[in-house]
Structure 1
Amino acid sequence: MIRKNKKALTAIALATSIIASGIAALPAFAQAGDQTVNWTREDVSKIELNQDNTLPTIDISKLDKLAPGYHMWDTWPLMDRDGNIASYKGWKVIFALSAPNDVLPGKVHDIATIRYFYSKNGKDWTLGGELFPKGTAFGQRQWAGSAMLDGDQIHAFYTATGREGQAQLTYEQRIATATGKIVADSNGVRFENWDKHRIILEPDGKYYQTVEQAKQGEGGGYAFRDPMWFKDPKNGKEYILFEGNSGGIVSERPFKQEYAGSAGYLQQHPVPAGAAHANGNIGIAEVVGGDLNNIKMLPPLVEANYVNEELERPHVVVKDKKYYLFTDSHINKYAEGITGPEGMYGFVSDTLIGGYKPLNGSGLVIANPADNPYQAYSWLVTPELNVVGFAQFGDLNGMTVGEIGNQSPEFQFSHFGGTLAPTVKISLNGDTTKIEKILPQGWIK
């Protein structure tokens, strides 16, 4: 059972900040309410792999490499302003994080670059190149985001990771945007005339943990990334969803029963102290009047305090007037004392803000099979309920993902997919989901 936070949140204002691109007004905070719900330890205890949520085993060695010369992973399609897969002069476009394929899998995130691909049929993709001109994007590297087409303009959102110009690799994360023009002809698609990149969201420390707060804790992670554009079809308001961590310093966060679940569950399942390091959440900000210069930070939609450290790539699909909120997480990101698979998880509500309950009772929607637990990851659900992900590690014979980096480069390369996984078709029925069938690689529509 998901319970709402009982403590009312208070409105605060985040002062304007000087950033690398000049002086930009960062978002003020909305009046708080009872919108944040908890994904609980009791919910997670109900996870059970079955034929409705478990993928068939994939032989990663037989998958096609969609980007010759490159690894590719986190992938997202170009959407229109209303949240449909966009088509421009007959072309569809996807974007993916990428790195040269001679880089070890464990190092690709250190040099990640966004590249794009185009297709006429939404199935067969041609590599277009880097999305942004070199040296124009914020960060030492760019992590996942989203892209929205409005006429012939593209609004690209991404995670600026690390501070540009720093000699050492750093992990500060900020949400950035840039607007450019899409150009297409019979030969393909390109992007040009990018305006100046801007930082539009940074963690505040109240609802969303700053990197400084994360450094003061022992263990746990830090995240403020994966911006996803969303327009609410019920009222036309526009938002950016993102992954974060609950604000504050871990050692100063008091335990609350609602993090565990019911009183009866808590009595039977005491919470280990080490579980405090898990504080993942799903954040949201309103783009007021569709103006990217006027963004209002809102309290999180979902928190996973004492439950899970990372709720990655959150996004919403609306079906039958219900809001389906999806996110991804790893085996090793669960709090001490509970477990869950490498999988895609989800929640459902009658409204965008507030009221979310875990799908299928536990939240689990898609899981890798037990005999190939890391075969795919970073799933994203399209409006057509096609789920796009990438092929991760396969045929490890019981090895954990943490042990892969200790193996030879030859072993790592031969067991890493670094390409799109087969697309997964799911169905949604109220608060339940089901894997319907497996489609070929790269199918988004």
Structure 2
Amino acid sequence: MTETPPGQTVTRPSAWTRAATDGLSRSDNTVSPIIYPPEESIDPDLHLWDTWFLRTRDGSIAEIDGYRVILALTSSSDLLPGKRHDVATIRYFYSSDGRNWETGGEIFADASGSIEGEQPFGSRQWAGSALYDNGTVYAYYTASGERGEDELTYTQRLAVGYGGTIDTSDERLEITGPWTHTIMLEPDGDRYETQAQSRGMIYTFRDPWFFEDAGETYLLFEANTPVPEGSPHCDDDTEAQQFNGSVGIAHSPSGDPTEFELHDPLLDAVCVNQELERPHIVVKDGTYYLFISSHMHTFAPGIAGYDALYGFASDSLFGPYEPLNESGLVLTNPENAPFQSYSWLVYDHGDELLVNSFFNYFDFDRPSLDDVALLSESEQMRRFGGAPAPTIRLAVDEYATKITGVLAHGHLPLPTEPLPESPFSGRDRDRRDGYLS
């Protein structure tokens, strides 16, 4: 067992309980407005979904010679949306104003598409995070499958490519290698479930998110808690036992952003939910806010959840965590557009929080995302957003949150930039049918 990081009192794992989820219900404070396609796409040749920012060690958005950078999972826009995860590639985009974005290219390849340095791990790369430190880019990612495999497999490991540098000459930003890649962590079968231990839904060990706190270096990630067959968990309900999501954490004793040791999870959702995706923390006024995204279909039988952003709060990194708004629900889609956005990422902006996500399926109100497959291929393509969604403004008061406004699609303001007056001011939000940018 690894030792507790310096200065930390360990009270974990905290639990997201079925009792808390009894309170899951849409409200005016948690439902985002209906959104529509942007007037212009960042890149019409690409599907774009899970998105994250290039950040510095203190968690702030990196600004390099007036540019800010986002990274995202991408695929060709000619591909059926449901197939995009099988070929996911991380690309980067840059902007001088946080509104208008230019495509930089594949993060690990040069302008010709050739890999610079070592090959990334996996047959495709899933979501992660990115650090800019002392002139070097560290691109954290999920290595899914194996290099060069002929048939897709679903092994998941936490990886990082490092050694990238940034050039801002010629009125553009370019990230270049060569890159060195390393597998940082794999599930241990004790704290975190392995693929061999999993039953039912696909296991998770993904979404590495770099985080520093009080001078200590951490990595958060999505995982599952091992629940052996014959376990008394969930009152011996073997079906509910398959829903065993957790938020994992690893610590770097040396502060090296490429070397980490596993610790016990911060939060688990055994008997509640199987996927606690893209975990990340925002520290505000001394409170640690832990956020995750999850789907309607990953809740255990008997729990009526949503595709939504969920959150928890504590006065310590290691807990105990309590669900925000009592149930954990922070932000979800309207009932008549239940899958319009997904994969939320929260960041601090002075007196409020901002939330970005991607534009998923619009003009689609069927009860399950699986029903997308019932549409014709042309309708699947038409209804998939594949672009950044509008940025949501969020007020937080200790353990309570509420939506207060909306910015433009993909707007990423710096903390020093003033925001426009909230579009919800003076409006009857129960009758809203759109949004203002």
Q: TM-score, normalised by structure 1?
A: 0.86
Distance 2:3 2:43 in 1: 41
In structure 1, the residue matched to 2:186 is 202
Distance 2:75 2:310 in 1: 27
In structure 2, the residue matched to 1:130 is 106
1:438 corresponds, among 371, 393, 406, to 406
Deviation per residue, 1:227-272 (Å, 9 max, x gap): 111111xx211100000011254x2432167xxxxxxxxxxxxx85
In structure 1, the residue matched to 2:61 is 85
Distance 1:175 1:159 in 2: 5
**Does 2:165 match 1:181?**
yes
Cα distance, 1:347 vs structure 2: 0.3
Q: Equivalent residue of 2:168, what SS?
A: strand
**Does 2:378 match 1:394?**
no
**Does 2:79 match 1:103?**
yes
Cα distance, 1:189 vs structure 2: 1.2
Query: CA 1:302 to 1:166, structure 2 compared with 1: closer, same or farther past 3 Å?
Result: same
Distance 1:300 1:63 in 2: 42
Distance 1:89 1:336 in 2: 51
Query: CA 1:237 to 1:154, structure 2 compared with 1: closer, same or farther past 3 Å?
Result: same
Q: Equivalent residue of 2:173, what SS?
A: strand
**Are the equivalent residues in 2 in contact too, given 1:272–1:337 (CA < 8 A)?**
no
Distance 1:311 1:72 in 2: 21
Deviation per residue, 1:195-247 (Å, 9 max, x gap): 32000011111111111111xx2x22311000111111xx2111000000112
Query: CA 1:408 to 1:361, structure 2 compared with 1: closer, same or farther past 3 Å?
Result: same
**Does 2:302 match 1:337?**
yes
The code of the aligned residue for 1:211 comes to Q
In structure 2, the residue matched to 1:254 is 232
Cα distance, 1:428 vs structure 2: 1.1
**Are the equivalent residues in 1 in contact too, given 2:359–2:384 (CA < 8 A)?**
yes
The code of the aligned residue for 1:54 comes to V
The code of the aligned residue for 1:229 comes to F
**Are the equivalent residues in 1 in contact too, given 2:108–2:177 (CA < 8 A)?**
no
Query: CA 1:63 to 1:359, structure 2 compared with 1: closer, same or farther past 3 Å?
Result: farther
Unaligned runs of 5+ in 1: 1-10, 12-27, 258-270
In structure 2, the residue matched to 1:142 is 125
2:218 corresponds, among 214, 218, 239, to 239
In structure 2, the residue matched to 1:20 is none
**Which structure 2 residues correspond to residues 143-292 of structure 1 after superposition, within 5 A?**
143-179=126-162, 180-214=164-198, 217=199, 219-232=200-213, 235-249=214-228, 251-255=229-233, 273-292=238-257
Deviation per residue, 1:73-121 (Å, 9 max, x gap): 0000110111000101111000000000011111000000000100011
- Say which is worse superposed, 110-119 or 286-295, in terms of deviation: 286-295
In structure 2, the residue matched to 1:25 is none
Cα distance, 1:399 vs structure 2: 4.9
Q: Equivalent residue of 1:404, what SS?
A: helix
**Does 2:338 match 1:373?**
yes
In structure 2, the residue matched to 1:420 is 388
In structure 2, the residue matched to 1:306 is 271
Unaligned runs of 5+ in 2: 414-437
In structure 2, the residue matched to 1:59 is 36
The code of the aligned residue for 1:420 comes to P
Distance 1:330 1:443 in 2: 24
In structure 2, the residue matched to 1:23 is none
Aligned structure 1 segments of 4 or more residues deviating by more than 3 angstroms: 28-34
**Are the equivalent residues in 2 in contact too, given 1:43–1:363 (CA < 8 A)?**
yes
**Does 2:13 match 1:45?**
no
1:296 corresponds, among 257, 261, 266, to 261
The code of the aligned residue for 2:203 comes to Y
**Are the equivalent residues in 2 in contact too, given 1:225–1:243 (CA < 8 A)?**
yes
Cα distance, 1:406 vs structure 2: 2.9
Cα distance, 1:310 vs structure 2: 0.4
**Are the equivalent residues in 1 in contact too, given 2:333–2:339 (CA < 8 A)?**
yes
The code of the aligned residue for 2:160 comes to T
Percent of aligned pairs with the same amino acid: 42
Cα distance, 1:397 vs structure 2: 3.9
How many residues are aligned here?
399
**CA RMSD for the aligned pairs?**
1.7
Cα distance, 1:173 vs structure 2: 0.4
Distance 1:159 1:293 in 2: 14
Cα distance, 1:294 vs structure 2: 3.8
The code of the aligned residue for 1:51 comes to D
**Are the equivalent residues in 1 in contact too, given 2:217–2:257 (CA < 8 A)?**
no
**Are the equivalent residues in 1 in contact too, given 2:209–2:278 (CA < 8 A)?**
yes
- Say which is worse superposed, 273-282 or 311-320, in terms of deviation: 273-282
